[in-house]
Amino acid sequence: MDKKSINKRVSEVYKNLLKNKIVDNESQFSDKLGYRQPTINMILNNKSNAGRKLIDKIIDIYNVNRKYIEQGELPMFVSSSEVTQPTSENPENLSPAESTESIVFLKYKVQSSEKLIKHLESELEKTDELAKLKNKHIGDLEEKIKTLEKKLQKVKTH
């Protein structure tokens, strides 16, 4: 395994997570992995090599395809169809590998959903604030119109 190529692919995974709003920034990425931000920064900038422990955490937390990190083999992420699904409704019948893959995939989906919910809530708050401002502005304009109508009535009566 070529360390520089692995670092490059770790960086590509990070950029993809950023682009898809799974992480907001390098600091959040490093916190989630349990590493200090300067350490992750050095790896992302190819000044230090990603170790086995970090690679395993990236794979586990973000549902990254191990073959992608180690060999560059696509896809970058393990999709739901690639995660072993239970063959029975009884979770006790799952092998340890199936359980782990299912849990990792579900953790990734929950994290993605939580991120999207936070983003949508933020957008909704912005929309509510704009609606309140528009309503206030409309109320102010209505008051001005009433005042102008009264002045116009006075001018007409004189």
Alpha carbons 102 and 126: distance in angstroms, whole number: 36
Mind listing the pLDDT tens digit of every residue in the chain (158 residues)? Answer: 688 899 999 999 999 999 888 889 999 999 999 999 999 999 999 999 999 999 999 998 888 999 999 999 988 888 644 443 334 444 555 556 556 656 766 777 788 788 888 888 888 998 989 999 999 999 999 999 999 999 999 888 87
Does residue 127 lie within any of the structural domains?
A: no
CB 34 within 8 A of CB 1: no
Q: At what angle do helices 37-44 and 3-19 cross, to 10 degrees?
A: 110
How many residues are recorded in the chain?
Answer: 158
Instruction: State residue 157's pLDDT score.
Output: 86
Q: Show the domain range for 35.
A: 3-117
- Whole-number CA gyration radius for the chain: 27
Does residue 134 lie within any of the structural domains?
A: no
Q: What is the pTM of this model?
A: 0.52
Instruction: State residue 14's pLDDT score.
Output: 95
Does residue 142 lie within any of the structural domains?
A: no
Does residue 153 lie within any of the structural domains?
A: no
At CA 41, angle to CA 75 and CA 118, rounded to 5?
65
Alpha carbons 135 and 60: distance in angstroms, whole number: 48
Instruction: Work out how many domains the chain is built from and give that number.
Output: 1
Instruction: State residue 87's pLDDT score.
Output: 40
- Dihedral, CA of residue 13, residue 79, residue 72 and residue 54, to nearest 10: 50
Does residue 91 lie within any of the structural domains?
A: yes
Q: Tell me the Ramachandran region of residue 112: left when phi exceeds 0, alpha when psi lies from -120 to 50, beta otherwise.
A: alpha
Cβ neighbour number for residue 54 with a 10 Å cutoff: 19
Instruction: State residue 139's pLDDT score.
Output: 92
Does residue 152 lie within any of the structural domains?
A: no
Does residue 39 lie within any of the structural domains?
A: yes
Does residue 112 lie within any of the structural domains?
A: yes
Instruction: State residue 98's pLDDT score.
Output: 58
